[in-house]
Structure 1
Amino acid sequence: MNAEPPEEKAASEAEAGAMPEKRAGSRAAGGNSLQGFGRPSVYHAAIVIFLEFFAWGLLTTSMLTGLLSFLSAPLIGALSDVWGRKPFLLGTVFFTCFPIPLMRISPWWYFAMISISGVFSVTFSVIFAYVADITQEHERSTAYGWVSATFAASLVSSPAIGAYLSASYGDSLVVLVATVVALLDICFILLAVPESLPEKMRPLSWGARISWKQADPFASLKKVGKDSTILLICITVFLSYLPEAGQYSSFFLYLRQVIGFGSIKIAAFIAMVGILSIVAQTVFLTSLMRSLGNKNTVLLGLGFQMFQLAWYGFGSQAWMMWAAGIVAAVSSITFPAVSTLVSQNADSNQQGVAQGIITGIRGLCNGLGPALYGFIFYMFHVELTELEPELISNNAALQGAVIPGPPFLFGACIVFMSFLVAVFIPEYSKGGIQKHSNSISGSLANTPERGSDEDIEPLLQDSSIWELSSLEEPGHQCTEL
């Protein structure tokens, strides 16, 4: 290492002398709200995601996202790069879950607030930035896989529990339990989740002035059109998630009315796909990333998704749906692999806005995908509504058609275009992609006044990213996933 010039060394020593006051002022301004249990870890991120989506899954009602989240996700992500992850985790979870108790209190207020909550339905962007703060690049795909698998686990378990509680005790109890779970998630973030953004990267206080350029999401969106790598990734995400969002909105009604699945079979189908997705996003994803690399893993996931949608489109028998469901579970590796690719092309102080853009694109797809699939079903005279039993036979006639599921086949064609775009994404390697001059972080500048420049202890010093530091007696052994 080069020796530090005498004048710079003297200046740094002088600054170090004033450092205790600065750091004390920072702690006083921020209070104890940034404290939590142990060091920031993937466990914290996984629990937050599980509880949020478990609460909504109990209601068997999806969260509304769309244009609002497309605009808000980059902004919230950018602000989390400045102020820290924890405040925005708390805000996104609170406002996303706020409509839940209103389902029984006031239906009018429920529909009003659920539209507004779409602005904050971007927890994934903050969570993935949180994980990026505490992991090294070679660990990031595994960590993202665990978070995505936790999300899948919440969707596997919560609908069945919610349906059982509703049938046995009524809808009011389901709403009450979902509200309690949401409150538990908020309390967990407030009390247990530590801040992951290093103190020297945050302003001294919430009153510190920041440059709008650092938190301007539109500056990042403009950069997308200028940076070929980021542009290719964004197009890949849009074309791959658009048919996936449409599939989520209609597939289970399609199974019921066209293929003839009953409620028990649909529940079993969801459980099978969810459990296999957990395996795919943990064990399978880790192995693929080590052997194939990031880009090839994305391509493989897109290939499985294309195959799965084509199988749904041509399949007319129940066994075909079960087999295609296995393929669908394997295709779930795409999202964590893409998120890792995005993270690699963003600097450490721009992880929030980078993940925010991807989350925003997915939110836009959540608004466009169902409309696209609904239009195609309408063009082929298929009405996927809660039909009476005697009317289902009309749609069942499609089982003998050459293409029983036209929207799914159309979706396979869109994913094929996504695959072709992804082929041109440069393979990431250290020094291969110009990370500082040719990345999403280049669009944001003018760093605000931050805490002291004193070297802080690395978050991963001599410990695994999976560790939760013990706050109890010495000698406590941490577990690993």
Structure 2
Amino acid sequence: MGGNEVKILRPLVHLLVPLFVHWIAEEMTVSVLVDVTTRALCPGQSSCPEVIYITGVQQTVVGIFKMVVLPLLGQLADEYGRKPLLLITISTSIVPFAILAWDDSRAAVYVHFVLRTISYIFSQGSISCIAIAYAADVIEVGKRSVAFGWITGLFSAAHVLGNILARFLPEEWIFEACVNLFVERWNSIKDTIFVFRNRIGQKELISSIYPECISIQKICSETLKRISLISFFYELGMSGISSILLYYLKAAFGFNKNQFSEILLMVSFGSIFSQILVLPFINAIMGEKGVLCLALISSIAYSVLYGIAWARWVPYLSASFGVIYVLVKPSTFAIISKAAISSDQGKAQGLIAGVQSIASLLSPIVMSPLTSLFISSDAPFDFKGFSILVASISMVISLGHACMLNLERPDKATANNKRPCGEEAIEAPLIAQP
């Protein structure tokens, strides 16, 4: 890492370290959770349609509430500051895994799904949005792509370490270790993140939420509309694939926790390199739009290869494209950040995250029953990856919109609208002054 990057990241160290450990704790549970839930709900079976349906219902419920909660949390982060919202969202992840650390029976798994659904509503997507908004507060506009690449790169690094721990730790220790890490990092954020100034004004919060969102749309209407469509169709396909991928691999190729960890580890390890080292270089050459288009092309190849996988080695080849498609996130964050003024960073990120949640709501309506049908003995024809191939169509549409994306500076957009961004456009200082 060069000296310039050290200077850029210095204001973020106290945030990135606890988030990094939090992401490790979450990733530790991903692969083992498949085995635990399948064993509890479908004992003695290699696949479990009930788990797939429950996961689909969970994703649907989360999507419904996140459409409202994510923009609201973005608004609250702009008004009350980033620290209180981070503490609230991170704390919701503790109890669901504490349940499984205590008991992994059928009843405990059902309770876990209920509590984890509530946790997802408040934490899935919102933690990243608040972290990105914080980075936009303390990093100059021209250097944010580097910072966003490091945030997403550390997320990938957390995937690597989490999967290593999941592979080598005994299964009965994983959930207990996860809970301990959650609690420790919550305390770390509480003690180390700067205290933020309460930015609430004379207006009531509820009455200001939707006018502020409308203000964002007016500021950069074309840019936000286009990136909303890109994010919607990309998330529609990718979230559907992610929700059923491990169950598909288990049914089609008999993969278990070790193979899951190998695939996730390979993608995450390559993603660290691409987001931290490669992204700053290619972003300077291609710009955010070029990086986004390249990443979307890679996501299409990723989904098509998974869908038509004919041997056990093909999923590993498909997973290698994840090294490139992970650049969708940081490039999208950078585009949104450039499209919004500093006082609207939380609302802008929350607005797009809300659009993504709509896609997450819709995708399981098709993906869960379609996957369950084609991995069962009642499939109309032998094509277990058919649902994944269908999902790739959505990513093709997203690529089409990305090619038509016309980046617009917020000051230019504001001039076009001939009005400022509402009455609260002037941002209060992020860090409370002594």
Which residue of structure 1 lines up, in the alignment, with residue 276 of structure 2? 282
1:112-127 to 2 correspondences below 5 Å = 112-121=114-123, 122-127=126-131
Which residue of structure 1 lines up, in the alignment, with residue 213 of structure 2? 220
More helix by share: 2
Answer yes or no: is 1:59 the counterpart of 2:29: yes
- After TM superposition, the structure 1 stretch with the greater mean CA deviation from structure 2, 98-107 or 333-342, is 98-107
- Listed one character per residue, the Cα deviations across residues 168-195 of structure 1 (whole Å, up to 9, x for unaligned) are xx2xx33321121111111111111125
Q: Secondary structure at the match of 2:230?
A: helix
Report the CA distance between 1:263 and its aligned residue. 4.0
TM, length-normalised to structure 1: 0.72
CA contact (8 A) 1:301 1:334 kept: yes
Q: Secondary structure at the match of 2:424?
A: coil
Name structure 1 gaps, 5 residues minimum. Answer: 1-38, 384-390, 458-481
Which residue of structure 2 lines up, in the alignment, with residue 410 of structure 1? 390
Which residue of structure 2 lines up, in the alignment, with residue 446 of structure 1? 423
- Listed one character per residue, the Cα deviations across residues 98-151 of structure 1 (whole Å, up to 9, x for unaligned) are 433233558376444333323311111111100111111221111111111111
User: Of the candidates 308, 314, 317, which is equivalent to residue 308 of structure 2?
Assistant: 314
Which residue of structure 2 lines up, in the alignment, with residue 231 of structure 1? 225
Write the letter of the residue equivalent to 2:389.
L
Across the aligned residues of Structure 1 and Structure 2, the Cα RMSD in angstroms comes to 3.5
Question: Whole-Å Cα distance in 2 between the matches of residues 110 and 265 of structure 1?
Answer: 24
Write the letter of the residue equivalent to 2:289.
K
CA gap of 1:325–1:445, structure 2 versus 1, over 3 A, is same
Number of aligned residue pairs: give it.
390
Answer yes or no: is 1:178 the counterpart of 2:181: no
Max radius of gyration: which structure?
A: 1
Which residue of structure 2 lines up, in the alignment, with residue 154 of structure 1? 158
- Listed one character per residue, the Cα deviations across residues 245-269 of structure 1 (whole Å, up to 9, x for unaligned) are 1111221222232134454333222
Name structure 2 gaps, 5 residues minimum. Answer: 1-8, 34-54
Write the letter of the residue equivalent to 1:136.
E
Report the CA distance between 1:333 and its aligned residue. 0.2
TM, length-normalised to structure 2: 0.79
CA gap of 1:261–1:210, structure 2 versus 1, over 3 A, is same
- Matched-pair identity in %: 20
Question: Whole-Å Cα distance in 2 between the matches of residues 91 and 314 of structure 1?
Answer: 42
Q: Secondary structure at the match of 2:422?
A: coil
Which residue of structure 1 lines up, in the alignment, with residue 133 of structure 2? 129
- After TM superposition, the structure 1 stretch with the greater mean CA deviation from structure 2, 155-164 or 212-221, is 212-221
CA contact (8 A) 1:214 1:447 kept: no
Question: Whole-Å Cα distance in 2 between the matches of residues 218 and 50 of structure 1?
Answer: 34
Report the CA distance between 1:413 and its aligned residue. 1.2
Question: Whole-Å Cα distance in 2 between the matches of residues 372 and 235 of structure 1?
Answer: 19
Question: Whole-Å Cα distance in 2 between the matches of residues 79 and 214 of structure 1?
Answer: 13
Question: Whole-Å Cα distance in 1 between the matches of residues 215 and 202 of structure 2?
Answer: 24
Report the CA distance between 1:270 and its aligned residue. 1.4
1:196-345 to 2 correspondences below 5 Å = 202-203=198-199, 209-212=202-205, 215-217=208-210, 220=213, 224=217, 227-345=221-339
Write the letter of the residue equivalent to 2:396.
F
CA contact (8 A) 1:227 1:438 kept: no
Which residue of structure 2 lines up, in the alignment, with residue 4 of structure 1? none
Which residue of structure 1 lines up, in the alignment, with residue 70 of structure 2? 73
Report the CA distance between 1:437 and its aligned residue. 5.5
